[in-house]
Structures are given as structure tokens and as C-alpha cells.
Amino acid sequence: MGVVAIVGRPNVGKSTLFNRLIQKREAIVEPTSGVTRDRHYGKANWGGVSFTVIDTGGYVANSEDIFQVEIDKQVELAIEQADVILFLVSVTDGVVAMDRDIMQLLRKERKPVLTVINKVDNHHMAQLSVEFYDMGIANYYNISSINGSGTGDLLDEVIKYL
């Protein structure tokens, strides 16, 4: 079965997307960042294609915190296991330094990476996402993990790699 890993810095909505994809409440979603320490696995299906989704903890490069080092290790394992990686960022914050660290990490991979701009809950937010295009991210998907908008188009693309 194909494997999809959800990767990003803390608080961009990885666990919320994971829960939407597996349609159950399994991953821990907290307003406090960095709650998912290890990898969480779930089963999902789109258009008759079944796949495994991995939710990961928020990646923070070069941390000296022993818990964060462990989280980062788990993220790297999830990336190794994945057939396609969803790199999540948040439209509410734009591209921040922590996102760039992850982009650097993912650039080393010879795996398909889909950049996903989350928290695009409405038209107004969709206009803000143009900023990402200006940052040189030419290809991305606007989604709202909370209301589900855009997730269908994203999944149509995801299953092409599985």
C-alpha cells in the first residue's frame, strides 16, 4: 500500500489534515504546538485507492532540545517511508525560516513533494496565498483542513503517485 507523509513545522495543521484524511479522531490535535512526538499511522481511501497516511510531529531543525531531536528523527523516518510527501505550510504566517529549513531537508529527497498551503478557509485567504508564488513556490495546493476545501483536488494528485 502506498504511503503519504504529512510534514511541516509545528501548528500548520498536520494533525487536522491527518484526521480529515483518515476520517477518525486518532492523532492528537492541540492548540499547543509539538504535541505529536512520534509518527501516527492511519488508513485512507480516495477514488478507490487505499493508502497509509503518516502524521508527524512539527519539525524544528538544529534543535538542542532532546524531545525535539527525537521528533525530527521520527519525521525523517516518515519521509524515508513515504511514496509522496505533503509539505504543509500555513497561509496565516507565510513562509517562515522554519519552513525553509524543511524545504532544504525535502530538497535532498528524490521523492514527489507536494507543497500544501493550509488554513485557506475562504476567498480572502486564497488571495493571501499568492505570496507563496512570489516566494518562488510555483506549484502548490490551497486547502482548508478544517472545512475540507481543496482537499479533493489535492487527493486527486496524491493518488497519481501511489
Enumerate binding residues for ligand GDP (CB under 6 A). Answer: 8, 10-16, 29-31, 33, 36, 58, 118-119, 121, 144-146
Residue 48 beta carbon to ligand GDP: minimum distance, rounded to whole angstroms: 26
Instruction: Residue 136: name its binding partner from Mg ion, ligand GDP, none (Cβ under 5 to 8 Å by kind).
Output: none
CB nearer to Mg ion: give 74 or 115.
Answer: 74
- Nearest-CB residue for Mg ion: 15
CB nearer to ligand GDP: give 7 or 84.
Answer: 7
CB nearer to Mg ion: give 69 or 130.
Answer: 69
Beta bridge partners of 118: 90
Instruction: Residue 56: name its binding partner from ligand GDP, Mg ion, none (Cβ under 5 to 8 Å by kind).
Output: none
- On whether the CB atoms of residues 17 and 67 are closer than 8 A, the answer is no
Residue 77 beta carbon to ligand GDP: minimum distance, rounded to whole angstroms: 17
Strands, E assignment, the chain = 2-7, 40-46, 49-55, 84-90, 113-118, 140-142
Residue 156 beta carbon to Mg ion: minimum distance, rounded to whole angstroms: 24
Query: Taking each helix axis from N to C terminus, what angle separates 151-158 and 14-22, rounded to the nearest 10 degrees?
Result: 80
Using DSSP's 3-state secondary structure scheme, residue 87 falls into strand
- On whether the CB atoms of residues 86 and 158 are closer than 8 A, the answer is yes
Residue 102 beta carbon to Mg ion: minimum distance, rounded to whole angstroms: 14
- Which spans of this chain sit near Mg ion (rule: CB under 5 A)? 14-15, 36
According to DSSP, the β-strands at 49-55 and 2-7 are: parallel
Residue 16 beta carbon to ligand GDP: minimum distance, rounded to whole angstroms: 3
Q: Using CA atoms, how far apart are residues 135 and 74, in angstroms rounded to an integer?
A: 28
